[in-house]
Every structure is written in C-alpha cells, then in structure tokens.
C-alpha cells in the first residue's frame, strides 16, 4: 500500500479511485452547505436543473446565514428568504441570521469532525481543518450539484510539509505566527497545494489559534492546512461540541510523499502587520518606519472572532478608553462566543472602553454592517484580507487582536512594546 | 456543437509597466458590493470594476475576445459572479499562468474555458504576444498561435473532466 499524506488519506476514505497528486477523482461529501451569498443561486441552479428532484440527503445539506445579518438591504432580505423557503420545502436546516459565522458554527455543533469532507460557499471553508476536517469553498454550481448528488470532482493536490523551527523568546499571538508564515510562503509556494505543519510552536496552538492560522491558508493560495492534534486539542474539541467520543484524527503515513519541505524559523517572531493592499505584504511592527495613524479598529472575522481573541482585547482595554476620534468595532464570530462575552462580563468593560459590539457574523469583510471605511480612513483589522475595497475605501492593515487593541488605545499602529 | 478552436483578438491584463498583474482577486474582478446580483445578464458591467487601470473594460471588450492574465488569477472568494461576468461580457477564454483554486473550479464547472500556461511570463517578456493582436487557441491540443506573427506557444490542454463538463455545457448537466 502506498504511503499517504493527510489529504490523500481523507480522499482515499471518500473515493473509489486511485489517489495520485494531479489526478482528478470523484469524492463523496459528508456535508454540503450554502450561505446567504451564493445560496440564492444554489437554489436557482437546483430548481433550473433538478426541479422536483430530491436532495441527496436532507440531513447532510444545510444553509448558514452569516454575511449580511440581519440583512442590510431588501435585496439581501429577499435572497435569504429564497433560501429559507427552499429549506422549508426540502426539510433542511437553516442556521439563521442570529447564529454567526457558518464555519465556526459547524465546528461548535460537531457537524465538521475529523476525517470528514465538508463543502460550502465560503472561501474560508478550510478553517474546518482546525478539527482535522477537510473543508472546501465552492461556487454555486458546485454546491447545487453537491445538493443533488452528494459528490464532487477534485484534483488531488500535492502536499507541502512546513516545519516550524526555533524557540520564540518573546510573546507572540497565533496571528503573528500566521503572518510570519504568510510572509514566507506568500501566494506562490503553496498555490493549489495542501500544507502539513509540524513543530512544537505550531502544535501548541489552541483551537482558536489553529482557526486563525488555517483560515489564512486561502490567502497563501493553498487548498487546506493541517496541524497534528495534541491532548489539549482533543479535549478542546470535546468541550466545544459536547459530542460523545471523538473520531480518530487522520495522520500522515511516515515517508508519505511531499512535493517540497519548507523550514521556517520563527525564533525572532514578534508582533507582525500586513500592509495594504495584499495580505502577504508582511512586516514587523518594530520595523515600521513612520507612525501610522488609525481611525478604525476591527475585531472579528472568521480568522479572529473567537472568545480567546476578544478576551485579549478586553484584557488590554478594560478600565481604559480608546483614543479620541478613533472607532472600534467588535463582532463575535458566533452566538456561543457572544454568550461568553456576555457571561464573562466583558461586554460592560468593552462598552465603557468605547467599543461598538454587534451581533455575531462576518462583520465588514463582505461589506456587512460593521467595519467599513471611507476614503483616506485607516483601518487596523483582525480580518484576513486587505485587498483594495475589501473593507471600504480606506487603507486596511491586518494584525492580531492585541495589536488592534493597542493601536486604538494609542491612535496609531502599535504593539505592547512599540 | 461546441467550439474547440477560438480565434480572436486578445487583451493582456497588464499594469502601467506592461507586466501581467499578479493575484487579481475576486473583489477586483467583481466587487462584493454587487453580490446581491443573481441575474447573469446584469453582471457584465461590473467586470474589473475594482481593478486599477481596467475599470472601463466592460466598455472596451467585444463579444468573442480572449484574455491573458497573470498568476493566481481569481484568488479570493468563491463567488461565481467573478466567472459569470466574463461570460456575460462575451469573453470566450481566459489564459493565465495559474488560477485561484476555487476560481478554477467555478470556471470549469460552468463550462467556461480557462487555460494555464506556465511560461506565460516568458511569452510576455519576449513580447511574443502584444495587446489586441489576433490569436488562435486550440483548447484540446493546447496550442496557441499568434495569427499576426504565426508564432506557436504551448498551453496545458483541457483535462478530461474539464472537457466532459465543457461538452455538456455545465456541471449540472452531468
């Protein structure tokens, strides 16, 4: 039997065909989802091509609404209602506008689990690999086909092995580690590939940190990333989803075939920032040549919207107030996170520090409600993209929750030390 | 009958220095402000609406045109509109050094021809193709001919699944 990487093993368990990098195979899907963007077109495609036909499996198809929640225009409200009516007709589940980011909800509910393949109309679907599940973002045609047949074609990607080396002396966050790696891989070294990460620094990340890093595989041009579980990862997943038992993590075979092995030394890591207009334009904050004034801070997104992220902001901001003329928006990723913010008493402190706190969802990343800039405005965001126009007309810098917190406190881009 | 050979003028999606623009993302192709649009006939006018230097492309493009673009074209989101807007505009084919992974799927699944050419940068630096020259592309053979100079350039031909879906028009007919 040939030796397989993690993605090859997951594909092997879902396909009857031979698994060879570069080869195209058909795979069975464990869950097919759509959200409020693309969802209406999934419905349209389904009705145009498969009218009167059944879904492949009602318990394995669902909607998650997370982009404009509640809808900010009548058009978006109509689009969501198209999905709801289809869901009612077919008898499938909708995680509605109150629930927050779909991928995070799937992890919390245990719908994304180790070894599974889950697809959806979210380009950051690969976040699900935080629980060792292969998640793939897709367009509306792909998903309509998945709704009907529960399968899809896939070009088996090559796998790159990334060894994270060095013992960082200073404090750093998962986002700093993510940006450090992104700065090395940029968008070409892992383009179209799966990545397996190894090394103590990366394996020590908790689930929220893994979500941060693995969400940005998309910005590295990669398909999906995997980090081996530790005891702590397993306990965290159990605590999150409350399910009995835990399916075994998929691990690569020894001597599996990697297209490249890349070593990244992170011993000099410190607070990092991604400069507009590309996520991979990464710098150390200590290396910024001049002071960059900020107008708006954004905490949230599928990359940094967990309670652990908001807690760090709370620790920095409680008892203080953000700088004059600066705005700060905080968007918890899910209803569960929102409840934690409430129950741990953070809401009051964050409110008093001058923050705007909204209901859970994607926030400004897709021109949702919260976190848009006007021309000449400067945003510092925990999001994952800073392409022109992504979060408004202003310039957008990406960083960790800590850096956003210090920056809105000081009124310019800063970390604890700089 | 499906076309396997396209003959048309070509647009090189370049910056001010004449280099193919890398990493053109889906927000630059079809901005997220227009994502409520679900009717393909509405989409053409927003093509490249957020790509500096190319915002007037919908006015300049003609039915049948071919596009040559840089690496990682269509990175970013999963929006089908970023493929459909080109269809709506009458673009017949996009050739790039590489495509964003989801974009590649979306194009193939909607039966929209895309092709990869790993030596596209050499082609550009040696000026083997100039903007608005006429080219002919055989998608099954993977052969591009500059009709103005008669020079031949190799492309990666369609894969089997790509041809199967193209022949059926769309994945949903499979």
The A residues from 220 to 259 touching B (CB cutoff 8 Å) are 221, 223
For residue A1, being part of any structural domain is answered with: no
The dihedral sign for the CA sequence A370, A374, A379, A382: positive
What residues of chain B lie within 8 A of the CB of A366, using their CB?
A: 32, 35, 77
Least confident of A143-157, A238-252, A397-411, B125-139: A238-252
For residue A110, being part of any structural domain is answered with: yes
Q: Are residues A117 and A103 in the same domain?
A: yes
Cα end-to-end distance, chain A, whole Å: 54
Dist CA A149 CA A135 (whole Å): 18
- Rounded (10°) CA dihedral A167, A172, A177, A178: 170
Q: Are residues A18 and A126 in the same domain?
A: yes
Cβ separation B106–A141 shorter than 8 A: yes
ipTM: 0.91
Dist CA A34 CA A122 (whole Å): 8
> What is the chain A residue with the closest CA to B174?
A145
pLDDT digits (tens, 9 = 90+) for A183-202: 999 988 999 999 999 999 99
Closest CA to A135 of A6, A205, A224, A255: A224
The pLDDT value given to residue B156: 94
pLDDT digits (tens, 9 = 90+) for A217-232: 999 989 999 999 999 9
Reduce the DSSP state of residue A27 to 3 states and report it. Answer: strand
Nearest to A45 among B79, B105, B172 (CB): B172
The answer to whether B32 faces chain A, any CB pair under 8 Å, is: yes
Residue at token pair 């493929």:
B83
Please name the residues in contact with B79: beta carbons below 8 A apart, sequence gap of 6 or more: A37, A38, A139, B26, B30, B32, B35
Q: Work out the average pLDDT over A230-243.
A: 91
Nearest to B72 among A145, A221, A390 (CB): A221
Q: Work out the average pLDDT over A90-115.
A: 96
Q: Are residues A170 and A50 in the same domain?
A: no
The pLDDT value given to residue B38: 84
> What is the chain B residue with the closest CA to A121?
B78
The answer to whether A301 faces chain B, any CB pair under 8 Å, is: no
In the listed set A206, A241, A265, which residue is the last one of a domain according to the structure?
A: A265
Q: Are residues A280 and A383 in the same domain?
A: yes
Cβ separation B106–A191 shorter than 8 A: no
Cβ atoms B64, B87 nearer than 8 A: no
Q: Are residues A165 and A145 in the same domain?
A: no
The CA distance from A239 to the nearest CA of chain B, in Å, is 31
Which CATH number belongs to the domain containing residue A94 in this structure? 3.30.499.10
Q: Are residues A251 and A324 in the same domain?
A: no
Q: Are residues A198 and A280 in the same domain?
A: no
What is the percent of chain A with per-residue pLDDT over 90, rounded to a whole number? 89
Least confident of A145-149, A325-329, B22-26, B119-123: B119-123
The pLDDT value given to residue A116: 96
The CA distance from B77 to the nearest CA of chain A, in Å, is 5
Q: Work out the average pLDDT over A158-179.
A: 95
The pLDDT value given to residue A370: 82
Q: Is A100 left (phi over 0), alpha (psi -120 to 50) or beta?
A: left
Cβ atoms A334, A99 nearer than 8 A: yes
Whether pLDDT at A146 is above 80: yes
Reduce the DSSP state of residue A386 to 3 states and report it. Answer: coil
Cβ separation A138–B106 shorter than 8 A: yes
- Rounded (10°) CA dihedral A235, A116, A104, A369: 170
The pLDDT value given to residue A143: 97
Q: Are residues A321 and A238 in the same domain?
A: no
**Which range of residues forms the domain containing residue A387?**
272-410
Q: Work out the average pLDDT over A360-385.
A: 88
Nearest to B27 among A76, A192, A389 (CB): A389
pLDDT, averaged per 10 consecutive residues of chain B (174 residues), comes to: 91 94 92 86 94 96 97 90 96 96 95 93 87 96 95 93 96 95
Dist CA B67 CA B89 (whole Å): 12
The pLDDT value given to residue A222: 94
Tokens of A3: 């030796």
DSSP state of A271: -
Whether pLDDT at A1 is above 80: no
In the listed set A213, A238, A265, which residue is the last one of a domain according to the structure?
A: A265
Which CATH number belongs to the domain containing residue A214 in this structure? 3.40.1060.10
Whether pLDDT at A369 is above 80: no
Preceding peptide of A110 cis, ω within 30°: no
For residue A2, being part of any structural domain is answered with: no
Angle at A115 between CA A114 and CA A116, to 5 degrees: 95
For residue A226, being part of any structural domain is answered with: yes
The answer to whether A86 faces chain B, any CB pair under 8 Å, is: no
For residue A76, being part of any structural domain is answered with: yes
What residues of chain B lie within 8 A of the CB of A138, using their CB?
A: 78, 102, 105-106
Q: Are residues A257 and A328 in the same domain?
A: no
Residue ranges of the alpha helices (H) in A257-343? 301-304, 307-317, 335-343
Q: Work out the average pLDDT over A175-184.
A: 97
- Is residue A56 exposed (0-12), middle (13-18) or buried (19+ Cβ within 10 Å)? middle
Closest CA to A378 of A339, A327, A329: A327
Residue A255: other Cβ atoms inside 10 A: 7
B5-173 CATH pick, 3.20.19.10, 3.40.50.720, 3.20.190.10, 3.30.920.30:
3.20.19.10
The answer to whether B15 faces chain A, any CB pair under 8 Å, is: no
Dist CA B127 CA A124 (whole Å): 38
Average pLDDT of every residue of chain A = 95
Quick one: pLDDT band at residue A292, thresholds 50, 70, 90? very high
Closest CA to B112 of B34, B43, B60: B43
Dist CA A35 CA A302 (whole Å): 14
Q: Work out the average pLDDT over A145-161.
A: 97
Please name the residues in contact with A77: beta carbons below 8 A apart, sequence gap of 6 or more: A71
What is the percent of chain A with per-residue pLDDT over 70, rounded to a whole number? 100
Whether pLDDT at A371 is above 80: no
Closest CA to B123 of B150, B152, B94: B152
The count of domains in chain A is 3
Whether pLDDT at A336 is above 90: yes
For residue A176, being part of any structural domain is answered with: yes
In the listed set A100, A127, A155, which residue is the last one of a domain according to the structure?
A: A155
The pLDDT value given to residue A352: 98
Q: Are residues A168 and A276 in the same domain?
A: no
Reduce the DSSP state of residue A218 to 3 states and report it. Answer: coil
pLDDT digits (tens, 9 = 90+) for A10-26: 999 999 999 999 999 99
The dihedral sign for the CA sequence A163, A169, A175, A180: negative
For residue A355, being part of any structural domain is answered with: yes
Dist CA A42 CA A45 (whole Å): 5
The pLDDT value given to residue A297: 97
The pLDDT value given to residue B143: 95
The answer to whether B110 faces chain A, any CB pair under 8 Å, is: yes
Q: Are residues A134 and A170 in the same domain?
A: no
Residue ranges of the alpha helices (H) in chain B? 26-29, 57-60, 81-89, 101-109, 120-125, 160-168
Quick one: pLDDT band at residue A364, thresholds 50, 70, 90? confident
Dist CA A309 CA A331 (whole Å): 11
Q: Are residues A257 and A279 in the same domain?
A: no
Closest CA to A413 of A277, A321, A275: A275
């Amino acid at each position: 039997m040939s030796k397989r990487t993690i993605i090859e093993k997951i594909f092997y368990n879902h396909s009857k065909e031979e698994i060879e990098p570069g080869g195209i195979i058909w795979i069975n899907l464990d869950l097919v989802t759509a959200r409020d963007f693309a969802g209406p077109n999934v419905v349209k495609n389904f009705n145009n091509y498969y009218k009167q036909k059944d879904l492949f499996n009602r318990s394995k198809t669902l909607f998650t609404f997370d982009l404009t929640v509640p809808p900010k225009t009548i058009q978006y409200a109509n689009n969501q209602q198209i999905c709801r009516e289809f869901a009612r007709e077919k008898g499938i589940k909708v995680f509605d506008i109150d629930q927050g980011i779909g991928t995070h909800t799937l992890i919390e509910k245990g719908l994304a689990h180790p070894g599974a393949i889950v697809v959806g109309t979210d380009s950051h679907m690969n976040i699900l690999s935080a629980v060792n599940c292969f998640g793939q973002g897709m367009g509306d045609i792909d998903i309509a086909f998945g709704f009907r047949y529960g399968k899809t074609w896939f070009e088996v990607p090559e796998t790159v092995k990334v060894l994270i080396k060095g013992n960082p002396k200073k404090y750093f966050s998962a986002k700093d580690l993510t940006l450090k790696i992104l700065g090395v891989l940029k968008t070409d070294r892992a383009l179209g590939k799966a990545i397996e990460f190894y090394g103590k620094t990366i394996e020590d990340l908790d689930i929220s940190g893994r979500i941060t890093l693995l969400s940005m595989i998309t910005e590295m041009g990669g398909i999906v990333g995997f980090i081996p579980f530790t005891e702590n990862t397993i306990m965290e997943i159990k605590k999150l989803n409350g399910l009995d038992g835990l399916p075994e993590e998929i691990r690569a075979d020894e001597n599996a075939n990697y297209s490249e092995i890349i070593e990244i030394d992170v011993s000099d890591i410190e607070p990092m920032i991604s400069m507009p207009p590309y996520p991979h334009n990464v710098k150390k904050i200590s290396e910024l040549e001049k002071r960059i004034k900020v107008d708006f801070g954004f905490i949230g997104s599928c990359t940094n919207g967990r309670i652990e992220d908001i807690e760090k902001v709370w620790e920095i901001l409680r008892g203080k107030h953000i700088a004059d003329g600066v705005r700060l928006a905080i968007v918890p990723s899910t209803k569960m996170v929102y409840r934690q913010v409430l129950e741990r008493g953070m809401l009051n402190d964050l409110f008093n520090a001058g923050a705007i706190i909204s209901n859970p969802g994607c926030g400004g990343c897709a021109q949702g409600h919260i976190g848009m800039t006007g021309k000449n405005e400067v945003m510092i965001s925990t999001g994952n993209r800073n392409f022109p126009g992504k979060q408004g007309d202003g310039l957008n810098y990406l960083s960790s929750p800590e850096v956003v917190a210090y920056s809105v406190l000081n009124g310019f881009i800063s970390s604890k030390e700089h | 009958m499906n076309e396997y050979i396209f003959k048309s003028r070509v647009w090189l999606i370049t910056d001010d220095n004449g280099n193919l623009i890398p990493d053109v993302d889906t927000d630059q192709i079809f901005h997220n402000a227009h994502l409520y649009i679900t009717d393909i006939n509405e989409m053409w006018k927003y093509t490249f609406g957020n790509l500096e230097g190319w915002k007037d492309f919908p006015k300049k493009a003609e039915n049948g045109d071919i596009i040559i673009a840089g690496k990682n074209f269509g990175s970013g989101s999963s929006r089908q509109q970023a493929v459909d807007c080109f269809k709506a505009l009458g673009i017949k084919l996009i050739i790039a050094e590489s495509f964003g992974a989801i974009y590649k799927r979306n194009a193939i699944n909607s039966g929209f021809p895309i092709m990869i050419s790993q030596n596209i940068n050499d082609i550009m630096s040696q000026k083997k193709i100039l903007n608005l020259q006429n080219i002919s592309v055989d998608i099954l053979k993977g052969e591009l001919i500059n009709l103005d100079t008669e020079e031949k350039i190799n492309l990666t031909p369609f894969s089997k699944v790509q041809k199967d879906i193209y022949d059926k028009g769309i994945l949903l007919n499979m």
